[in-house]
Amino acid sequence: MNKATMVSIKRIIFAIFNSIFFILGLAVLGVGVYVVVKDDHWIQILKGDDKSLIQAPTILIAAGVFVALIGFFGCVGAWKQNAKCLITYAILVFCVFLLEIAAGIYTLKQKGQVQKHLKAGVQRAIQMSYGKSDEHADKALKEAVDWFQKNLHCCGSKSPADWKKSVWYKNMKKPTIIVPSSCCVKETKGCNGGNSTKALGNKIFTKGCVEQGWNLAQKNMRMIVNVAVGVGVIQLLGIVCAILLCREIKSYDAL
């Protein structure tokens, strides 16, 4: 197999790899936009507090744009045998690699702050904001708290008993309703009514939303770090391949 054929094969493989890279970038961009538009529950709960946790969608959008751009340069450079595009590709990949390492370190360093502000945001939302009188009601925040309780299988900030200390309970016209219906394991009529939260037993979720929210936040942060490391390794391989292909193209052109 002659040198020209080897270059062509490597060029095609590299182009296919970066086509997939480009598509993944668009997919990540789409997910980021969808989360920003459709899922603002974290934003509502943490309103006024630290935004470290809810910056993930913005990071996804930026990452998607960069990855798609990188894939484009890689495809063009390989397909057209353009050394400049390949060099641009390698530089961009290296820059994103450094940003991902920085983002991973930042995420790990922010764990304490995220936990602190998550706790404050959930407690404020449940005890002070949820169920205010109609003229002051925040529908989006109410929906966010209900979403948290239903999807994270939690009730109250630390426990279901927290609802009896809330503005919502004080404004209730039925004192026998002691937790919102979103606390119910299965939402049925009367599932949230009784003399005490203990009497409701397994009809309602018993874990607090601070604990469950923190578990979810930690899971998301671990995922960000793991993805950053995994993608970083792939990117380093991409840099090496781009440099080697660029050298072969230049060597072939010099013949």
Q: Mean pLDDT score of the chain, rounded to an integer?
A: 75
For residue 206, what pLDDT band results from cuts at 50, 70 and 90? very high
Rounded mean pLDDT of 53-75?
A: 70
Asked if pLDDT for residue 105 goes beyond 80, the answer is: no
- The CATH architecture to which 113-210 belongs is Orthogonal Bundle (1.10)
Mean pLDDT is highest, among 53-67, 125-139, 183-197, 239-253, for 183-197
Give the model's pLDDT for residue 207. 92
Distance (Å, rounded) from C-alpha 213 to C-alpha 88?
41
Asked if pLDDT for residue 19 goes beyond 90, the answer is: no
The whole-model pTM stands at 0.64
**Amino acid in position 187:** E
Contact status, residue 53 vs residue 117, Cβ threshold 8 Å: yes
Asked if pLDDT for residue 147 goes beyond 80, the answer is: yes
Asked if pLDDT for residue 247 goes beyond 80, the answer is: no
Rounded mean pLDDT of 26-54?
A: 61
- Percent over 70 (pLDDT), the chain: 69
Distance (Å, rounded) from C-alpha 117 to C-alpha 47?
10
Domain ranges of the chain: 3-108+227-253, 113-210
10 or 7, which is more confident: 10
Q: Is 18 exposed, middle or buried (0-12, 13-18, 19+ CB in 10 A)?
A: buried
